[in-house]
Amino acid sequence: MGESGKEVKIQYYVLFPNHEAGIKLYRLLKAQGIRTQISPTPRAASKCCGISLLVKDELLLDDIRKCIEENEIEIIDIVALEVDINRTRDRYC
């Protein structure tokens, strides 16, 4: 629970030095049935390459790390961030 008493939801982002590494990992994980999503890299996570892989299930992280290691994919880090959805952001009416 967060400070406001609400449940805090965490998402994980795999950060890459370049988009080729991100696409390669995405394809390998997809072939293994591991669900991730290509996402813009959140500024709160890094100012690195423009794409990251979004992982919504913490239980998948060990399998993802194993795939990264086995395939020698270069990553910068795996970062945990609180879900920050503001449905009124950029609303003008």
pLDDT at 46 over 80: no
> What is the arithmetic mean of pLDDT over 66-85?
91
pLDDT at 89 over 60: no
CA distance 34 to 41: 20
Query: 6 is written with which tokens?
Result: 């609400």
pTM of the predicted protein model: 0.79
Q: What is the pLDDT of residue 61?
A: 96
CA distance 6 to 38: 27
Distance from the Cα of residue 2 to its chain's centroid = 21
